Amino acid sequence: MRPLFRQTLLFLLPLLAACSNLSEVKVTNYLHPYRIDINQGNYLTQDMVAQLKPGQSKEQVRFILGSPLIVDSFHGGDRWDYLYRLERGTGDVQTRRLVVFFADGKLSRVGGDVAAGSAADLAAPAAATAKVINIDGAPAAAK
């Protein structure tokens, strides 16, 4: 039993020593783990912004857009900030910002990078604006 152990040990030691020179090769260079998409904040659509009209109350705006992420308490709560951040697993980051201003408890103006949808977009049925994506590459059949 002893000679077999020694022969195996003498065979494996040079192999293990050779593996110590592979310090520059890293497994993370070849493996790419799955990273999830991270959504933070209030997701706002053009349809939601298009429903806002000057003179609406704070309750109506909160019903349409949801609770604001930031309420400016220094100016009596007359400014609401809606922020949205999407960080994709690939590293791409998308941010959106919408600021709603009130005067005397009524909506006075809206600013930010989320534009309201046009009247034609809002009047079109949802089925007409839906997109069909084929995975197999064949052309989509029109409905």
Nearest-angstrom CA–CA distance, 54 and 66: 17
Give the chain's domain count.
1
Q: Is residue 31 part of a domain?
A: no
Give the mean pLDDT of the chain. Answer: 77
Q: Looking at the predicted structure, is the pLDDT value of residue 43 above 70?
A: yes
Q: Which domain holds residue 67?
A: 38-117
Q: What does the pLDDT average to over 39-52?
A: 88
Instruction: Work out the angle at residue 97's Cα, subtended by the Cα atoms of residues 34 and 75, and round it to the nearest 5 degrees.
Output: 135
Residue 61 lies in a domain: yes
Q: Are 83 and 67 in contact (CB under 8 A)?
A: no
pLDDT at 68 exceeding the cut of 80: yes
Residue 97 located in a structural domain: yes
Residue 102 in any domain: the answer is yes
Round to whole Å and give the CA distance between 80 and 49: 14
Residue 29, pLDDT above cutoff 60: yes
Q: How far apart are CA 112 and CA 140, in angstroms?
A: 36
- Asked whether residue 3 is domain-assigned, the answer is no
Asked if residue 129 is part of any domain, the answer here is no
Residue 45 lies in a domain: yes
Most confidently predicted of 24-33, 71-80, 121-130 = 71-80
Looking at per-residue pLDDT, the higher value among 44 and 27 belongs to 44
CATH number, domain at 90?
A: 3.30.1450
pTM of the model: 0.58
pLDDT in tens, 77-88: 789 999 999 999
* Residue 130 included in any domain: no
Give the model's confidence band at 139: pLDDT under 50 very low, under 70 low, under 90 confident, else very high. low
